[in-house]
Amino acid sequence: MSTQLEKQACPVVRGGSFLIEDHAPADIFTPEDFTEEHKMIAQTAEDFVFQEVVPHEPELEKKNWVLLVDLLRKAASLGLTSMDIPEEYGGLALDKVSSILVSEKIAASASFATTHGGHAGIGTLPIVYFGNEAQKAKYLPRLATAELPAAYCLTEPGSGSDALAAKTKAVLNAEGTHYVLNGEKMWITNAGFADLFVVFAKIDGDKFTGFIVERGFPGVSVAPEEHKMGLQSSSTCAVRLNDAMVPVENVLGEIGKGHKIAFDILNIGRFKLGASSCGGAKYALRSATQYAKERKQFGVPIASFGLIQQKLAEIAIRTFAAESMVYRTAGMIDTLLGTIDKSNSTAVLQSIEEYAVECSTIKVWNSEMIDYVVDEEVQIYGGNGDSRDYPAEKHYRDARINRIFEGTNEINRLLISGMLLKRAMKNDIPLMPAVMKLMGEVMSLPQLEEESDGLLAAELKACANAKKVALLVAGAAAQTFRDKVKDEQEVLALASNIIMQAYAMESSVLRALKLAEDGGDRAEVAAEMARVFVYDSVPQVDAWARAALAATLEGDDLRTMLAALRRFTKQTPVNTVALRRKIAARVIATERYPLS
């Protein structure tokens, strides 16, 4: 298979630039641009999960790790664990769209998706991007085949979100041959069966550093399985290091630079988790729709009830927004990667890191989206939704951890607005000039506006206005709090909510417009979903902005900003009831996400 799948060429754009730039539908990558190879990879992953994994889930929930490792190796034989590994080490070196597609499709089994991500993602990628040649040659071929199942060990009992507060210590022995590690890592996915651990410890108590640790090294042990709410057929244990002997050649990356490994790999993990959430939402929608057609009340299927149709349509709409963001971002990453030497690991990481704002956005928005989806799935199942004899209960339990995985959503909310403001201060993106230009617009007399014309013209304008609101809030916070803005967590989180929603809105509308060029039923339902999503987003944006501005300004300054906000969030009523009925009709007819 080729190392770079041919797909639509999109222009290179800077990370976070969506907030200050307008992009055309042709500028973004969407699922409609998948190549035949992409579709083949997606089908392979989906077939594997439904044929090999799902039938074995009852046995896997009994903690049969021998079976789980066997399934992981079967996935490896299909190339599903080696997409991101260079060819010279036994990998496929595929584009990020392919890698993300696998993450999405494997989500049909949330537990196996967690196992797969723990191995092929955060367990393997540290060595791909930070390993030296000897480490890559020794470990990557065996990771590609899953001969060595992998795990990523960052979290500790006393340091969850504050990873750099880790207390695990590493001290060089007298002979200078080994580092002696002491400490404990918590909530480690795959720990029950992993043979290779990427572990973080502080050399001499202060130099935060990565290590490649084999299960068989002296002093390495694994605690019993945790009793979790969900993901029952994935392994989660503590890893204990008691005078663990790690050869000096197993130091990963530079001494004292472990934070670079930790944060860069988490960034990729967030993106893949967002893709998995999108895939999980599609499967939950299928389950809910099938049940709604089968379940009868008052002599008719509950799928015929307006309020059930409203739920099915809303699940489809939010999934559409999530999917549009995921593949827009994957396309941007691949476009930038196409301009560099991909044998240069540092350049590859910098290209992915460029879109850290988008990756955190997708992690937060999609993980909260799937929580909404599975909650409504349980509601559609009614009393049976609370029964373990039906799938909705399992979907509900499995989804909740996503808001905690890969950095809590609270931390990621602070990162989104914080990273944008930091880039603005460094002039990486011209955010502050855009804010100043907007302030000039705010202070000027309102101009008589012409009615928008054309398909989704009003929605495009709403997207542009949502971005203005984000700039309004971020600019006010930066000017009021200055270098103490990082301490205003509630305001930063509200700003991030607006930024995320603006990205979701614009990604949805641009995709719908792109689909409209080809016409047909898919284009029609995409436009309907985009219209409803944008219309319902505007009041949310308005509420978040009001709360943020009230916490930031007072007096005439506040009144001026609120007046501007009213200009940016006014809209003409849309019959969303009728639109949701049309969307639901398509979902019910096909029993699946309407753009599948």
Residue 577: phi and psi, rounded to 5, are -65, -50
State residue 450's pLDDT score.
65
Rounded to whole angstroms, the Cα distance separating 62 from 233 reads 7
Helix (H, G, I), strand (E, B) or coil at 252: strand
Given a contact cutoff of 8 angstroms between Cβ atoms, the answer to whether 7 and 35 are in contact is: yes
Count of residues in the chain: 596
Please compute Rg for the chain using Cα positions: 24
Calculate the alpha carbon distances from 165 to 169, 464, 524 in Å. 11, 41, 51
C-beta atoms surrounding 259 within 10 Å: 14
Phi-psi domain of 93 (left: phi exceeds 0; alpha: psi -120 through 50; beta: other): left
Res 426: pLDDT: 86
Number of Cβ atoms within 10 Å of the Cβ of 323: 24
Residue with tokens 């079967």: 74
Amino acid at 123: G
Q: Which two tokens stand for residue 287?
A: 């389950």
- The tokens describing 438, both together, are 């907007």
Structure confidence by residue, pLDDT tens digits, 453-473: 889 999 999 999 999 999 999
The residues that bridge with 152 in the sheet, in sequence order, are 198
25 contacts: CB under 8 Å, gap ≥ 6: 510, 511, 513, 514, 517
Nearest Cα residue to 520 out of 461, 593, 595: 595
Query: Tell me, what's the pLDDT at 428?
Result: 86
Per residue in 208-232, pLDDT tens?
Answer: 999 999 999 999 999 999 999 999 9
Beta-strand runs (E) in 195-295:
196-203, 207-214, 220-222, 236-247, 251-252
The Cα–Cα gap between 548 and 176 comes to: 55
* pLDDT given for residue 4 in this prediction: 44
Nearest to 185 by CA among 227, 221, 218: 221
| pLDDT given for residue 9 in this prediction | 62
Residue the block writes with tokens 């969030």: 569
Which member of 354, 406, 506, 528 is catalytic?
Answer: 406
- Helix or strand or coil: residue 594? coil
The label of the residue with tokens 């000096």 reads 248
Instruction: Tell me what pLDDT residue 81 has.
Output: 97
Amino acid at 386: D
Which distant-in-sequence residues (6+ apart) come within 8 Å of 152 by Cβ? 118, 122, 123, 126, 188, 189, 197, 198, 265
* Beta carbons of 407 and 399 less than 8 angstroms apart: no
Output the pTM of the full model: 0.96
Supply the pLDDT for residue 8.
Answer: 56
CA atoms within 13 A on the CB side of 339: 13
Each residue's pLDDT tens digit, 538-587? 999 999 999 999 999 999 999 999 999 999 999 999 999 999 999 999 99
Do the Cβ atoms of 13 and 27 come closer than 8 Å?
yes
Determine the Cα–Cα distance for residues 508 and 316; give it in Å rounded to an integer.
12
Phi, psi angle pair for 13, to nearest 5°: -130, 150
Partners of 566 in the β-ladder: none
Question: pLDDT under 70 in the chain at which residues?
Answer: 1-9, 160, 445-452
Question: What pLDDT is stored for residue 451 in this prediction?
Answer: 67
CA angle centred on 475, ends 470 and 476, rounded to 5°: 105
368 is catalytic: no
How far apart are alpha carbons 258 and 237 in whole angstroms?
22
